């Protein structure tokens, strides 16, 4: 594999998706590197910060007409988007692999997640239900109506470079809101591809306003401009808690709506009755999949002391044979980390864990001879004596901290004893334990599972978490309500004017 191959491969994928060459192959100042070998695979022009306002104005103009298009007709656009995604699934999936380093099947899975949310949003476009409420006054009717809000800013991270945009865009557009998307500066190429795919759906649709979906290629300051604008009533931001801390107060200050999906530090409890074979497979997928770079990746394992030796030995054996390598090759399960900074954070966390008494198995860099500019990490399991500070932090890399417990309440307390609250799970065949874990006294996370790992959620459920994860919900269930404004309506069809609460006035 040569550098030329990667750049040429990227170029041909982008061209076949309809992205004009000057958008990625000119003098653009943003140099995009493939984590596969660290080589430059594209150069993308960055939007001037001063152009953010112009794009917001355009989104506002699109809003004026889009908000009055009937929702089922808006759904038709998303149906076409889903069709385009189906037709280009392989190409876009391959591009995700080249730009974000995901193994082929996970790159394709990410595009499937986009298709799934499109299907979901199409159905939703014939719903967007409001309640009818019993009025206390004779001859009156009360109801709730859901209306579009306005442009929706979407800030996404490198690790799900296309799916998280689709979660937001499919809902926002069906709900009647234009979208302004600021992708990660590490993955603008897949964003250009999505824009081209979206534009094709728009041209087949016929009469959508221009600028319904716009891309903002830039840096943190572009995201800050979106967060600050009163003309962007919703800002949906996915990324680190540090990013959320920068965005959320700015949006709150102007009373905008923020939908935040920030850091996670997800745990699994393995109880004595657990099916260990199932648990080992779930742990491997959720701790090592996407090289530990999912928000939902498994990072903390609490194993009952009666089975901990057996489980950890099996796990360490399974880790010993994990294929780390080029994510395009069949059989590879662990691709590269996104960049050097990620690898350094991985190495530093392992150093701190050792200092805190942890025993590391695995870890270290792979393929450094073949790819000195790429950063492949060997997944690590660290047997920790306790949940020390490094365990309580999210390190976006394949590190699994394993601890033992003797009492379920203690395990639940440890699981909840971190600042993040995204995803969690228990492996048990004991109904009482499972239900306790899901109860009000159980997991404090936005996602809590039984006998499946914490990652790999379907789009039908609401996705997001509590505490420093930010409290937002995206994707399924009634997450659409975050993209609309609720209006309470009271209609008087009588010839009287009775006042509520029995008030007499005049």
Give the footprint of ligand UN1 on this chain (CB under 6 A). Answer: 113, 159-160, 164, 238, 294-296, 455-457
Q: Nearest approach, Cβ of 164 to ligand UN1 (angstroms)?
A: 6
Is the CB of 358 or the CB of 464 nearer to ligand UN1? 464
The distance of closest approach from Cβ of residue 402 to ligand UN1 in the complex, given in angstroms and rounded to an integer, is 21
Q: Is 295 a catalytic residue?
A: yes
| Of residues 205 and 285, the one with the C-beta less far from ligand UN1 | 285
Residue 174 CA to residue 79 CA, distance in Å, equals: 10
Q: At its nearest, how many Å lie between ligand UN1 and the CB of residue 423? A: 7
Residue 83: C-alpha distances to residues 12, 69, 118, 258, 282 (Å) = 21, 21, 9, 30, 32
Residue 125 or 455 having the CB closest to ligand UN1: 455
Q: What is the CA radius of gyration of the chain?
A: 24
- C-alpha to C-alpha distance for 206 and 201, rounded to whole angstroms: 9
Closest distance of CB 480 from ligand UN1, Å: 18
Given the residues 84, 94, 113, 261, select the one marked as catalytic: 261
When the beta carbons of 116 and 433 are compared against ligand UN1, the nearer one is 116
What is the distance, to the nearest Å, from the Cα of residue 348 to the centroid of all Cα atoms in its chain?
Answer: 25
Distances (CA, A) of 37 to 44, 107, 368, 379, 426: 19, 17, 10, 19, 37
> By CB neighbour count within 10 A (0-12 exposed, 13-18 middle, 19+ buried), where does 183 fall?
buried
Q: How many residues are recorded in the chain?
A: 506
Angle, CA 505 vertex, CA 500 and CA 506 arms, to 5°: 155
Considering the complex, state which of residue 164 and residue 274 has its C-beta at the smaller distance from ligand UN1: 164
Residue 90 C-beta: closest distance to ligand UN1, Å: 20
Tell me the C-alpha distance between 253 and 164, whole Å.
25
Q: Single out the catalytic residue among 295, 445, 468, 474.
A: 295
CB 152 within 8 Å of CB 462: no
Residue closer to ligand UN1 by CB (options 201, 447) is 447
Residue appearing with tokens 């579009």: 148
Q: State the nearest-atom distance from the C-beta of 113 to ligand UN1, in Å.
A: 6
DSSP letters, 330-341, are TT--B---SSHH
Q: What is the DSSP string of 392-448?
A: HS--SSSEEEEEEESSHHHHHHHHH-SSEESEEEEE-S-HHHHHHHHSTTS--SSEE
- Tell me the C-alpha distance between 318 and 315, whole Å: 5
Q: Please give the Cα distance from 344 to 350 (Å, whole number).
A: 10
CB of 160 to ligand UN1, least distance (A): 5
Cα–Cα distances (Å) from 43 to 23, 24, 28, 186, in that order, read: 8, 5, 5, 11
Active site residue 344: no
Query: 456 or 472, CB closer to ligand UN1?
Result: 456
Looking at the annotation, which residues are catalytic? 261, 295
């Amino acid at each position: 594999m040569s550098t030329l191959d990667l750049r040429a491969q990227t170029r041909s994928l982008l061209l076949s998706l309809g992205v004009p060459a000057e958008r990625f192959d000119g003098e653009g100042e943003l140099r995009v590197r493939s984590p596969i070998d660290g080589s430059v695979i594209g150069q993308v022009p960055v939007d001037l910060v001063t152009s953010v306002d112009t794009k917001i104005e355009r989104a506002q103009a699109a809003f004026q007409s889009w908000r009055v298009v009937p929702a089922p007709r808006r759904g038709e656009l998303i149906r076409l988007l889903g069709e385009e995604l189906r037709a280009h699934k392989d190409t876009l999936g391959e591009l995700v692999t080249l730009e974000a380093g995901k193994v082929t099947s996970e790159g394709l899975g990410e595009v499937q997640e986009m298709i799934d949310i499109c299907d979901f949003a199409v159905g939703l476009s014939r719903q967007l239900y409001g309640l009818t409420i019993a009025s206390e006054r004779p001859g009156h009717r009360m109801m709730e109506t859901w209306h579009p809000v306005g442009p929706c800013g979407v800030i996404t991270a490198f690790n799900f470079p296309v799916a998280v945009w689709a979660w937001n865009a499919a809902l926002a557009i069906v709900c009647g809101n234009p979208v302004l998307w600021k992708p990660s500066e590490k993955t603008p190429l897949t964003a250009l591809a999505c824009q081209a795919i979206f534009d094709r759906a728009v041209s087949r649709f016929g009469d959508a306003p221009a600028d319904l979906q716009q891309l903002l290629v830039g840096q943190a300051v572009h995201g800050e401009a979106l967060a600050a604008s009163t003309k962007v009533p919703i800002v949906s931001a996915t990324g680190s808690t540090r990013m959320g801390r920068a965005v959320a107060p700015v949006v709150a200050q102007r009373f905008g709506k923020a939908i935040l999906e920030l850091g996670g530090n997800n745990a699994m409890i393995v109880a004595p009755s657990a099916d260990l074979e199932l648990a080992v497979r779930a742990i491997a997928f959720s701790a090592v999949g996407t090289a530990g770079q999912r928000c939902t990746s498994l990072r903390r394992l609490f194993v009952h002391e009666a089975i901990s030796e057996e489980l950890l030995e099996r796990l360490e054996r399974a880790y010993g044979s994990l294929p780390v390598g080029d994510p395009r090759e069949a059989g590879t399960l662990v691709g590269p980390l996104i960049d050097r900074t990620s690898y350094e954070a991985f190495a530093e966390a392992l150093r701190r864990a050792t200092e805190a008494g942890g025993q590391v198995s695995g870890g270290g860099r792979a393929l450094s001879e073949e790819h000195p500019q790429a950063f492949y990490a060997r997944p690590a399991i660290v047997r920790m004596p306790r949940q020390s500070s490094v365990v309580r932090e999210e390190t976006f890399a394949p590190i699994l901290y394993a601890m033992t417990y003797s009492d379920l309440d203690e395990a639940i307390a440890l699981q909840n004893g971190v600042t993040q609250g995204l995803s969690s799970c228990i492996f048990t065949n004991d109904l009482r334990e499972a239900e306790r874990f899901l109860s009000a006294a159980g997991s404090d996370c936005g996602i809590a599972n039984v006998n499946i790992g914490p990652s790999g959620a379907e789009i039908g459920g609401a996705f997001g978490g509590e505490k420093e994860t930010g409290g937002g919900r995206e994707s399924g269930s009634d997450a659409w309500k975050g993209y609309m404004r609720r209006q309470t309506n009271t209609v008087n069809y009588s010839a009287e004017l009775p006042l509520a609460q029995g008030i007499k006035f005049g």
